[in-house]
Structure 1
């Protein structure tokens, strides 16, 4: 019977939809081109209902025990003590919900649940339930998932024996265990627990109770992680309807569900509808005095990404200017968050063709970073790489003036040289640290740092090759067919060597961005070698064109032999 009920509830969640479902719009969703900058990780936001935020290893929220009936004396006192919504950490993709959730401020239950006849359930099982729940939650916060799992399983069994199979305390225990399984990606174990929790809450409080709405929001998050967009949309729409009725349209928790529904619609290709919902969620935060909050900034940034996806660079620039203005007022240029916001604006301006403004903004970012960071920080290398790319574009506009173009080329080469030096130093330092570590396995942080440094190194060498081509064409008053590009070839061969030295040896070669930059390098080299071969300019010590083409096929997945390790 339980399995039948769970299947029925799952089917209902997917089919359910609000009567005010937004109209669909056919827009194609594309992954946003990543803008390099050191990510700003949001403050973890697993809260106990009583007390301050705690810094934890995993970004998620756990259900807390439901309130006593006697505590539900007013609507205001119960709204904040509801089953809290999920909060996920940052990801390399925009799919996951990555902003903090609504604050929970009401008093935590002490673990006793009054029942209809007025008696109080209090026995050895309820005592164990409380101990297992608190201890499991603490272990979960510490990232000790195996130990936490055993305690949460125990808490669920004690809740069933102490309170009864259909008691809201059982729903609380189900959700705690489901959240743990979600973090462990044991999705097949998590879903029945989420559904059971919702089923119990609906029986206990009714279909339109706010606790049911919060639990549906959580289930929506669970489906969103797995890209089950129809299920996520149905859960969010029903949760939104409940929250609108109970909380009102000015409540931040209502805005939160609206925002996440907007993200689902965006992933479904319904760009206009997604934009409208996310804008409304931002407006609610701003009108509630949270316009400078981290939540609001994250939602504005997501809206910028939507505009970039739809090639609406004007909208993206305007929204990013708004973000930067808010950061300047609230934090000033002494904050790296402001610098990163400015850098993002500069890159959008670059795409929009506003090169001079982009250059000035990137220079200000570099000046601020030099005051805030060490000279060998990888963020400075990334900043220099961005500036060099803008200079390359400006150089193409100044070729009519040789002296001005030469100055731009020299400045660009200086920036790229420094970016290459810093990136190499960072990689060598990380490798040395790994060699001195007791564990041979890299941490996720170290892997990300190595990946970032290698990507910057490859991109800088690739850009240096393009610069050398530009320089040769600028200073040689001869036909392009007779030009030689030895320095450009050398930069690309250095790029290949760096990929083999750091990418292959450090097992970074399978990351899409690393492989993509390596392929770009190989293709640029093939163009130069084709030019050299067709004009009899081939030099010894270089790989042949066929060897490079074979390597391109190999990286792209075709059969070939590996390119030999020839040094320039």
Structure 2
């Protein structure tokens, strides 16, 4: 490894240490780190001259620092200056220029300057392919980044082809089971789903699950997540029996690995509740009232368990959460719990209306839609969760309320109590308020 690359590798390790640590400690270190990088740049200029490769290395290090701080414009100017010096010192097809172009491409990518990022990645690829060879993992990495910016520009077929090539390179290098390769296969499967090519997505997701089953087993959250993604695709393809089996295995794996009150357990439960209703709807002609009751009871149990878990996360204090899983309920946990709770409340509404049609209005076991609306409104009234709703899950919240309102207005018009009418009025006001904020 040459001196320039070695210095960059060392500095990147320092960036990771600073940016990945405790938040308050990180904040205290940032100013000091910036001064150190600026001092290193000044020292390089004074010691080696303004156009020396050592200066380019120092410029690149400071640029990386600003990129990690999300001060992209500052980083961009420093990368450009570093590339200019390197091209003067080593010519434009030198690998050091390629490495710097790769970094500048990432900076443009993060700024959503996709055309500029594409140009940098393509230039970097030519250099890397010539120097390292087209079978090198670093070449594959740049291919993957280029694929992502092409996809963001609507060039999905080209992006899919490059992603597949990136995966093939890793597999031929013996890295087919690596987290990097799994990540790229997952990305490719999601791109295929966006293109409505579910059959091809299913093939890749089966490959991912098979790889993880062999390498990690089922006592792994990675395997459970892969099973969940495949289950959702199978459900969309109407392969409901296999989808349910995978959802059940995913739920069992998460319950074994995670605390009972973890939001990922709630995710599995709400997906199973939705799938149960999907199975009921797909075989409606052949279902009698007893079988229907079985479906509804199963869906209701799953959705209620999901609601119980998510409400526990949203209502827990830091002290309670410490008892639960040794971590406080972070904003990320609460955002996830809020989104899952809304999905579970939607399922409750769907169960109610399905039961009304099949079992008749006299069955008292499925009259919980007003409770679902009440929970949805109560969620918004709480200052803590309201902040999360308006900031992150606004569209989820509006969709849930609209669904519940529509069910009540379309199917329960003659059964509305004064209390339910008041709830509907308040729900409509919240939707209007959120719409104005949008």
Q: Please, what TM-score do these two structures have when normalized by structure 2?
A: 0.89
Q: Where do residues 27-66 of structure 1 align in structure 2 (5 Å cutoff)?
A: 65-66=3-4
Q: Does 1:520 align with 2:399?
A: yes
**CA distance in structure 2 between the partners assigned to 1:420 and 1:331 by the alignment:** 30
The answer as to whether partners of 1:145 and 1:180 remain within 8 angstroms in 2 is no
The structure whose residues are more often helix, as a share, is 2
Alignment check: 8 A CA contact 1:339 1:368 kept: yes
Structure 2 counterpart of 1:422: 309
1:135 Cα deviation (Å)? 7.9
TM-superposed CA distance for 1:292, in Å, is 0.6
Q: Secondary structure at the match of 1:551?
A: helix
Maintained 8 Å contact 1:136/1:152: no
Structure 1 position 475 matched with structure 2 position 362: no
CA distance in 2, matches of 1:279, 1:134: 30
- Identify if the C-alpha distance between structure 1 residues 427 and 550 changes in structure 2 by more than 3 Å, giving closer, same or farther: closer
Distance in 2 between the 1:458 and 1:168 partners? 56
Q: Are positions 1:360 and 2:245 aligned together?
A: yes
Give, in whole Å, the separation in 1 of the partners of 2:418 and 2:428: 18
Answer whether contact 2:15 2:65 (CA < 8 A) is retained. Answer: no
CA distance in 1, matches of 2:341, 2:18: 40
What is residue 172 of structure 1 aligned with on the other side? Answer: 57
Number of residues of Structure 1 aligned to a counterpart in Structure 2? 425
Equivalent-residue separation in structure 1 for 2:268 and 2:141 (angstroms): 34
Give the Cα–Cα distance (whole angstroms) in 2 for the partners of residues 332 and 140 of structure 1: 32
2:418 to 540, 557, 560: 540
Please report how far the alpha carbon of residue 281 of structure 1 lies from its aligned counterpart in structure 2 after TM superposition.
0.8
Q: Equivalences for 1:155-166 in 2 at 5 Å?
A: 155-166=40-51
- In 2, are the aligned partners of 1:346 and 1:359 still within 8 Å (CA)? yes
Q: Is the contact made by 2:266 and 2:310 (CA closer than 8 Å) also made in structure 1?
A: yes
Q: Aligned-pair distance for 1:239?
A: 0.6
Please state how far the C-alpha of 1:395 moved relative to its aligned partner. 1.4
| Cα separation, 2, equivalents of 1:346 and 1:386 | 9
Larger radius of gyration: 1
| Alignment CA distance shift 1:156-1:137 (3 Å) | farther
The question of 1:457 aligning with 2:335 is answered no
How far 1:139 sits from its partner (Å)? 4.7
Instruction: Look up the match of 1:236.
Output: 121
Give the Å deviation of 1:362. Answer: 0.4
Listed one character per residue, the Cα deviations across residues 329-362 of structure 1 (whole Å, up to 9, x for unaligned) are: 1111111111111111111111222221111100
1:497 is the counterpart of 2:378: yes
What is the CA distance between 1:167 and its match in structure 2?
1.1
- Distance in 1 (alpha carbons) for counterparts of 2:64 and 2:216: 35
2 CA distance for matches of 1:311 and 1:83? 45
Counterparts in 2 of 1:238 and 1:313: CA distance versus 1, 3 Å = same
Residue 472 (structure 1) shift: 2.2
**Are the equivalent residues in 1 in contact too, given 2:98–2:128 (CA < 8 A)?**
yes
User: RCO greater where, 1 or 2, for CA within 8 Å and sep 6 or more?
Assistant: 1
Tell me the TM-score normalised to structure 1 length. Answer: 0.70
Q: Is residue 189–residue 201 contact of structure 2 (8 Å, CA) maintained in 1?
A: yes
Q: Please say which of residues 515-524 and 411-420 is displaced more in the overlay.
A: 515-524
Separation (CA, whole Å) in 1 of partners of 2:374 and 2:76: 51
Give the secondary-structure state (helix, strand or coil) at the position aligned to 1:509.
Answer: helix
Q: Counterparts of 1:326 and 1:486 in 2: how far apart (Å)?
A: 45
CA–CA separation in structure 2 for the residues paired with 1:529 and 1:133: 57
1:509 corresponding residue in structure 2? 389
Going from structure 1 to structure 2, the CA distance change for 1:229 and 1:137 (only over 3 Å counts) comes to closer
Taking a change above 3 Å as real, the CA distance of residues 225 and 477 of structure 1, as seen in their structure-2 partners, is closer
* Equivalent residue in structure 1 for 2:231, among 321, 346, 361: 346
Structure 2 counterpart SS, 1:353: coil
- What corresponds to 1:249 in structure 2? 134
Following superposition, the deviation at residue 430 of structure 1 comes to 4.5
Distance 2:56 2:263 in 1: 47
Per-residue deviation, residues 444-482 of structure 1 (Å, max 9, x unmatched): x8110111112111211221121122122221179xxxx
Contact 1:454 1:502 in 2 (8 A): no
1:82 is displaced (CA, Å) by 7.0
Aligned in 2, Cα 1:466/1:340: closer, same or farther, shift over 3 Å? same
The one-character-per-residue Cα deviations of 1:86-108 (angstroms, maximum 9, x if unpaired) are xxxxxxxxxxxxxxxxxx7xxx8
Given the alignment of the two structures, is residue 411 of structure 1 paired with residue 295 of structure 2, yes or no? no
1:555 equivalent in structure 2:
434
Q: Deviations over 1:159-180 (max 9, x none)?
A: 1001111111111111111111
1:149 to 30, 34, 45: 34
Shift in CA distance, 457/534, structure 1 to aligned 2, threshold 3 Å:
closer
Per-residue deviation, 1:398: 3.7
SS for the counterpart of 1:524 is helix
Q: Which runs of 5+ in 2 are unaligned?
A: none
Offset of 1:538 from its aligned partner? 2.5
1:214 aligns with 2:99: yes
Q: Does the CA-based 8 Å contact 1:496-1:518 persist in structure 2?
A: no
Q: Is the 8 A contact 1:83 1:214 kept in 2?
A: no
Alpha-carbon distance between aligned partners in 2 of 1:484 and 1:558, rounded to the nearest angstrom: 38
